Amino acid sequence: MIAGRWRAALAAACMAATVAVPSPVRAGGPSSLKAGKCCPLIVKKSGSYVLNGNLQPNGANVDAIEVDASNVTIDLNGFSIIGPSKAGSGIGVDAAAQTNVTIKNGSVSQMGGSGIAVGSYGVVRNVTATGNGVGGSGSGIQCTGAACFVSNCVTGSNASQGLSFLDASSGYQDNVINGNLNGTVLLGTDMGGNVCNGVHGCP
């Protein structure tokens, strides 16, 4: 009887210990982008990447992240890219020459150039881009190609437009755009839910 109780208690303890052990990282998951004072971090291969802390570029003309491949997703993971707040050409995330790049879930500020730049079919979601273009020219979020989509973003106090697109093939939805020094939105198509300088809808 005692032996039976002992075995039952041991089995219960083993089961509890097994439940408490965390699952291993899934093979093929996103690659980590190392944080700190640095840069540029260069993404050379297609795939998914996640930032593991704040980034601080160590020069006014230095990009924080440069994307040298198409078909990339970068999750900023709630962290910030914080520029040196000096005149220069550095971009927070520069994927302007690539296609099908997604940037999401973080913030970028005080870069000398634009906060984020993507190429054709680029997507930017859940990003706050403020105070960029310290050199006098730089949008919060910029698309240099066709058919981009920007949603649920906040852009403010950037030296150029809050959002800048190449043409009307791109769309933007559910963004807040306020106090940018050279207008709210350049081109693109308003898909609804946007607030520009306190007014529902953007020009």
Residue 70 neighbours by CB under 8 Å, 6+ apart: 46, 98, 99, 100, 101
Return the SS3 of 19: helix
- Tell me the one-letter amino acid at 103: I
Amino acid 28: pLDDT = 55
For residue 57, pLDDT over 60 is answered with yes
Give the residue from 78, 138, 98 showing the smallest Cα distance to 114: 138
Burial 92-104 (b: 16+ CB within 10 A, else e): bbbbbebbbbbbb
Amino acid 5: pLDDT = 43
* Cα-based distances in Å from 9 to 1, 4, 6, 16, 20: 12, 9, 5, 11, 17
Amino acid 152: pLDDT = 98
- Tell me the one-letter amino acid at 136: G
Amino acid 10: pLDDT = 36
**Rounded (5°) CA angle 15-16-17:** 90
Over the Cα atoms of the chain, what is R_g? 22
The total number of residues written for the chain in this structure: 203
Amino acid 29: pLDDT = 73
Q: What are the phi and psi torsion angles at 167 (to 5°)?
A: -160, -175
Return the SS3 of 179: coil
Give the residue from 80, 92, 81, 194 showing the smallest Cα distance to 133: 92
Average pLDDT over residues 183-199: 97
Average pLDDT over residues 74-87: 97
CATH for 30-200 is 2.160.20
Amino acid 193: pLDDT = 98
pLDDT in tens, 129-188: 999 999 889 999 999 999 999 999 999 999 999 999 999 999 999 999 999 999 999 999
For residue 16, pLDDT over 70 is answered with no
Amino acid 27: pLDDT = 39
Average pLDDT over residues 74-90: 97
Q: Where are the domains of the chain?
A: 30-200
pLDDT in tens, 133-146: 998 899 999 999 99
Query: Percent of the chain beyond pLDDT 70?
Result: 86
Query: Percent of the chain beyond pLDDT 90?
Result: 80
